Amino acid sequence: MRRVLLSFFLLSSFLLAQVVIVTNKETYLDAISKEKIKYVYLGKVNSIDGIKFTPYILNDKTIHEQFLEKVIEKTNAQYQSYWSRLLFTGRNSFLKTIEVDMISTVLSKPNTLVYMDESQVDTTKHKVVYKVK
């Protein structure tokens, strides 16, 4: 039984996507810290090092949940609740959600942030600014 569970755990870990945060290739920042990304996606700040970024939420459940768990450190329910409170109090408006096929279009605009599967990164157009660990 232990072997089955261990095998399942190792296989499921292997199958999980490697999440990266990307921006437009023209953005002058080469790296962004986890804390700064977290603050942008929590609506606490809208600029990093003087650059106003527009963050987008990816409509891919697996990638989204990994991003929330490893970067935002919240479950999907906690994240939705957090944003509901911000919206209710009028302190912020919710982030835009995009489909996977819209990533290149969104990233053609300067100063955008999107998290995605590393295997989908087009290094001729996208710049990886953070790799989720």
Question: pLDDT for 17-65, tens place per residue?
Answer: 899 999 999 998 999 999 999 999 999 998 999 999 999 999 999 999 9
* pLDDT at position 15: 58
Q: What is the CATH number of the domain that holds 85?
A: 3.40.190.10
The residues, any chain, with a CB within 8 Å of residue 93's CB and separated by 6 or more, are 87
Confidence of residue 89 (pLDDT cuts 50, 70, 90): confident
- In this structure, is residue 7 part of a structural domain? no
pLDDT at 10 over 60: no
pLDDT at 129 over 90: yes
pTM listed for this prediction: 0.83
- In this structure, is residue 86 part of a structural domain? yes
Structural domain total, the chain: 1
Domain that holds residue 31: 17-131
Q: Number of helices (H) and strands (E), helices first, in the chain? A: 5, 7
- In this structure, is residue 8 part of a structural domain? no
